[in-house]
Every structure is written in structure tokens, then in C-alpha cells.
Amino acid sequence: MTKAAAIACAIGAMQSACASAKPAVPLSDEAVRARADALIAQMTPEEKAAQLVTYFAFAIPGQEKLPDTRAAAGAGSFLFVTDPKETNHLQHVAMEQSRLKIPLLFGFDVIHGLSTIFPVPIGQAASWDMAMIEKDQSIAAAEARAVGIHWAFAPMVDIARDPRWGRMVEGAGEDPYLGSAVAAAQVRGFQGPRIGAPGHIIAGPKHFAGYGAALGGRDYDESNISDNELWNVYLPPFKAAVDAGAGNIMSAYMGLNGIPASGNHWLLTDVLRKTWGFKGWVVTDAEAVNSLKTHGYADSARQAGVRSLNAGVDMEMAFASAAFGNLPTALAAGDVTKNRIDQAVRRVLEAKIRMGLFENPYVDEAKAAKILRSPENLTAARIAAERSAVLLRNEGGLLPLDRVGVKSIAVIGGLADSPIDSNGPWVFAPNSPSTQTILDGIRSKLGASVTIRYAPGVKIPKRFNPTIADTMNGIVKRPEPADDTSGIAEAVSAAQQSDVAVVVVGEPQNMSGEMASRSTLDLPGRQQELLDAVVATGKPVIVLLLNGRPLDLKDTKAKAILDLWYPGSRGGDAAANLLFGDAVPGGKLPFTWPRDVGQVPLIYAHLTSHDPANAEKRYSNESNAPRYPFGYGLSYSTFEYANLKVDRPRIAPGGSVTVSVDLKNVGARTADEVAELYIHQRTGTAARPVRELKGFQRVTLKPGETRTLQFHLGPDELRYWNAASHDWVIDASIFDVAVGGDSTARFGASFTVGGQ
């Protein structure tokens, strides 16, 4: 489409002109901008301000038609609309009643699926399988696009190093290298090859930036992050998401080093725009502009809107009263410029143009029903749950269970038969998510061939501060603590009568996520007593965990522990397959698992202290060693690493080396291993971590099979941000290299950067 044709489409009867000139190929950047600018030239300040707000489309008592009114007035975007009939209705209002007939953009929290639910993001990260993550998010995107959603408030790419923070469940854990790989994979999955690709939606990485470093792991509290940590740890996943083409960025709620993130010009303009070259639009988290008043960063909604816009925010997410509604008066007073407002509007309109909404604003309601929860999607959900599981303990090779030898199983724990808890947080009942419990999966697999005894054991208290997700799922008030232990006796009896006990424990889904920080990592309620009582029977006990963070099981003597996370729509089938060996666990922990909450934050990539020999003796009363190290995970097979080599002993700064290692499956089962590469820079112009992840590969090997793996180490892997020089550096130094199955892998090779 030529520039002239683009302008013609934007002027007058825009819909008919554009419909007849539908581009066969994606428009060029110039054509997109021309179409946007032609519209902007016709817009009033009030119409521009309306495009810069995304409203929650909840029905408000007495104001049920409020979304219709806003759509008719030219609102730019709505969120939390997932019924295709409603999206079409609101789109018709916008296209038929608003003056300029600009289509609406619909956003939603597509965190780990819409109707087909995949494992929670921390579980997907535990798969260390980027191809799987990309595929699963593409399925989520297709389902979302089918119902009229154009944009995901995901992925969450915040690094989380304090497991007390409830939103650890939404991210990829503690490590910036793994987090960056996961962020890029999710963006590719959501968006496909380009913004506007059929069956895909715009990715909105969040929360920019540093949200995961909230003081004490308390959600929404301030983050105070050193220059070193900000650039080397917290920013890299966002940079990876931007480099992968993310069309949107969501700014964070909290204050970053004293400046609220949603009013932080350095963060939103100097870093995101000028340094990284981000071209999309920035939206705030819910009510974050108005919250600038609460922070004491603005004295009114008008000033909050001005400061946020001038800092680099392009769109406000608002419940009812939008601070950006004051932009026309602020423009008249000279507090904001026409150019800055037009810039923000242009970014929003360009997204709508690239998504093809002017040509195709509506969805096919009949087609949507066929796409949701297709058999292929549900199969992908099962595979994802199997590949995300992490085997933490397997004493005596208890797992996998012998399908012939096991005649009876006790399935114990209320979470075993709870659909909402199997799916996990950020799953919404109005979307009719597909659900399957752990108990359902075991029963389906075994049928009548094995006696299955189910006992919930104890009730589990729910979180008392319901969020939007809780409200939509019918959880609206604080429940009473569940201290009744009368069901433990029934659970013990079921275990005593069975060959093996499968105890499902963890956190209810609404105790993990937003507003779900906890001061303890203990099992909620009386679950620990239940677990201890079942273990005391002497029967073989397998613990299945439903969780979004590490939990303290108090040195349980259970023989096997399998972390399923919140496994999603086919978590029951996945659990059954894993228990009986039809699937082999190959996941690895994306965080360090502490022994005690008093150790947190506990990370593997820490600096060497002046007394490294006593690193595990930092506390006088107990060891500081983790329960499980970062990258840890067992298998039903065994692997050996040998012949670790670096292809050259020395490189110049900016050069590259290739690391190779032989990996052999020395066990009796075909299984997956995640080979993890770590480096340590011995000296430099700053102290460097004891080890850093810089490569990984998940591979499948048959019994006896050996494969030589190769890893690339170049400038991107060897550089770091130096807080003294305020720049990226590659120091002359010796670099040690290790490749193994977790972050305790022994260094066995080295190379030198610089020198003669």
C-alpha cells in the first residue's frame, strides 16, 4: 500500500476504504506511520486522550453500560473482556458510534493459557525447554485471538530471588540467563514472526523494572537495586524480550531506587527507548498513574498524568477515573506538548494497524468455540506438565511405580481433588478453563485394575485478601482458618491399607501470585501434620507438590518428592504418567531451594566473600547450604559427563570459544537431561560471581547413548555491567568452565581472555 493510499484509508469513510485496500503483506513502517498520522491529524485532544487509556470492562452497579459509553466516545482499549460476543458488541459500538471509528484493542492476563491451561510460568521455566515454551504460548495466543483478545499482559519477566514474593510463580526464577531465554521464547510464542501474524497476539512483558526485588518479598513494596544488580540481573530479561520484538511493555507499580517506576524517565525513556530502541507502547499496571499520588510523587491526578506521560508512559490502565483524562487541560496549560501526546497516540494506533483491526475488527464466534480446548491443545498441555515436573527425591528407586506390583494406592490431600488448585493462579472461571485433578488422572490411568483410596486428610486455609482473579472465580471473602485434623486418621487408615501412598500437598492456588506474599515457606494449614502422620505408617510415600515457590517440608522422610508445580488442564494425566514411568521427569529447578525461610534470598550466583571456606557456615545455628541447588533435578535414569574441552586456550576480548562435553545415559531408561554450562571469571575490574549460567541444552538420550554437546561462549556471555565504569566490559582474565546437571557442577576446563 502506498503512502497516499494509507492516508486515503484514514480519511473520511475509513472502514470502507481500508476494507477494499486490505494489504496482502504486512505494511511497511512508513505506511503504518502514515495511516496513524492521518488519523492523528483529525483527532481532538479529548479523542487522543481516550486512545491512551485501557479500562477494566467490569459491570459497575448502576453503570452497566459504561463500557458501551466509553467505546462510543472513542476509548482506546478494554481489558478483561473474553466473551467473543461481548468483544464483538463493544467493537461494533466503537466502529459504528465513535466519530473516527477507530477499533478497540482488547487486552487480558493470558499468563499460562486461556481455556487450555498450561503449567504456571515457573513450572514452564523448570522444563528448560524453550521450543516447548514457545509452542505453548503460541497455543495460548491462538485461543486468545479467537475470542477477540489482541494483547497479553505477559510474559512476566521479573527476576525473583526471594521466594516469599508470591509472584515468583509467574516468572522464570532467579537467573538472568535462563530468564532471558524464557522471556524471548514467550514473546516469540505470543507474537509469532511479526506483530499481526494470524492467530497471534501482542506480548506485553512486565513489570518494568525491578518489581521482583520488593523489600522482604512483600508485594508492591519498594525495590532498592544496585547499579550492578539492575544491569546484570534484573534488566537482561526485559532486554531479551525487546530484542525478540515485544510490541508492548508494562511499567511496574513500585518505587525503584526512590522513583516510582511508572513515572521514571530514566527507566522508561533513557533505558527503554534511547538505549534499547524499543518501538512499541508502554502501558502502566493497574491504576499505577493515579498511584503516583499515593507515592507522594504527584499532588493530583492531573499532575500524575503529566509526570507519567512525560516520563515515557503511553497508556494508562485504569479502573474508573483515568488520570490521562486530564491531558487536554494539561496540554492547554503547556504542561505537556502536542508532540508528546501525538507520539503516544501514534504508538497505540500503529499497534492497531499492525494487528489488522481496521480491516478485521470482529471475531468469528463460531470458529472461536472450535479452537478452544482442542484435543491437540490438551495433549500439548499434558506434555508440558510432564516436561515441567522436577524429581527432587527418589530413595531406593521408588519411582516409577511398578504397574503390576502395585495393587492399591492411597491418594491423600485435599489438593489432589481440587480442579482450581491443579490449574493454578491467573486462571479465570468465565473462560471455562479445562480442568483435571491429580486424582482424576490417576483414576483414569489405572481404572479398576488398582484399588484407589482417597482421603483429603485436612482442610487448607485460603488466602484472606481476594484479588480480581479470586473475585472472578467466586472467592470473595476471608474464610476461617482450617485447623480441623479429624481427617488425618482416615488418611492414615487409607495408607495402612494400601501398597503405596501418594500425598499431594502444597499451596492453594490463591496463596501464590499477586498479593500472595508469605512470611513463611511452611505448608499452609495442618498439611505437615498430615504428611508426617502418613510417613509414620512406614508405607512407601510419594509427595506430589502443587506450588509456585520452594516449600519447607521439615526434613520429611518421604521416599520420593516430585514437584508438579500447578500443572494445568491435563496435570492429572501427566502426574499419572510420571508416577508409572510412561513419562520420565527431566525438569530442573529455576531457583535455589532454601532449607529455611531465614536463608532467603539465597542465590547460587553470589560473590565470593573474604572467607569462602566457611560459605555454608554463615549461620551459627544451622548450615547455609540449600536444600536443593539451582538447576537441580533427578531422573529415572543416570547421566555421566566426560571430556570437557575448550577449543582454544586464549582469545582476545570480543572473541569466542566453543565448549564441548560428552554426555552419556548410563541408566536403563530413555530420558532427558538438561546439560548446564557455568563459568567463573577469576579476576577483573569488579568482583564476579562464584559461577554464572551461560548455556544449557535439554537432550533426550537412549540407554547407553553418548552425545557430544557444544556450547558457544562469546562477548554476550563474557561481558558484564561494571558499576564503576558504568558500562559493559570484558575483562582480561582466566575463565573457568563447568558443564553438569546442576549448579554444583565441578569446573574442569578454562580459557584466558586477553594477554599474549
Active site amino acids: 285
Measure CA of the first residue to CA of the last residue in the chain; give whole Å: 57
Q: Which residues of 425-457 are buried (b: 16+ CB within 10 A; e: fewer)?
A: bbbbeebebbbbbbbbbbbebbeeebebbbbbb
**d(Cα 169, Cα 221) in Å, to the nearest integer?**
18
Q: Are 204 and 152 in contact (CB under 8 A)?
A: yes
* 708 half-sphere exposure, CB direction, 13 A CA radius: 7
Nearest one of 468, 382, 457 to 425, comparing CA atoms:
468
Q: What is the residue-wise DSSP string for 177-197? A: HHHHHHHHHHHHHHHTTSTT-
Q: How far apart are CA 67 and CA 76, in angstroms?
A: 11
CA separation for the pair 335, 145 (Å, rounded):
38
Beta partners for residue 657, in sequence order: 713
Longest Cα–Cα distance of the chain, Å, equals 81
Task: Return the closest-CA partner of residue 175 out of 517, 714, 605.
Answer: 605
- How far apart are the C-alpha atoms of 140 and 186, rounded to whole Å? 10
Decide if 721 contacts 228 (C-beta within 8 A).
yes
616 closest CA partner among 604, 626, 605 = 626
What are 727's strand-pairing partners? 722
| Distance in angstroms (rounded) separating the CA atoms of residues 163 and 549 | 6
Distance between CA 46 and CA 571 in Å, rounded?
49
Handedness of CA 321, 322, 325, 326 (dihedral sign): positive
Nearest to 341 by CA among 309, 375, 294: 309
Selection from 544, 580, 690 nearest residue 629 by Cα: 690
Check if the beta carbon of residue 155 is closer than 8 Å to that of residue 247.
no
Residue listed under C-alpha cell 540407554:
703
Strands (E), 165-289: 248-251, 255-256, 259-260, 281-284
Q: Any idea how long the chain is?
A: 756
How far is C-alpha 160 from the chain's CA centre? 11
Q: CA dist 130 to 141, 387, 535, 548, 733, Å?
A: 16, 11, 37, 19, 31
| 89-96 own/partner pairs: CB under 8 Å, 24+ apart | 90/57, 91/148, 91/361, 91/362, 92/362, 93/68, 94/361, 95/15, 95/361
Identify residue 155 by its one-letter amino acid code: P
Please tell me the distance from the alpha carbon of residue 271 to that of residue 437, in angstroms, as a whole number: 45
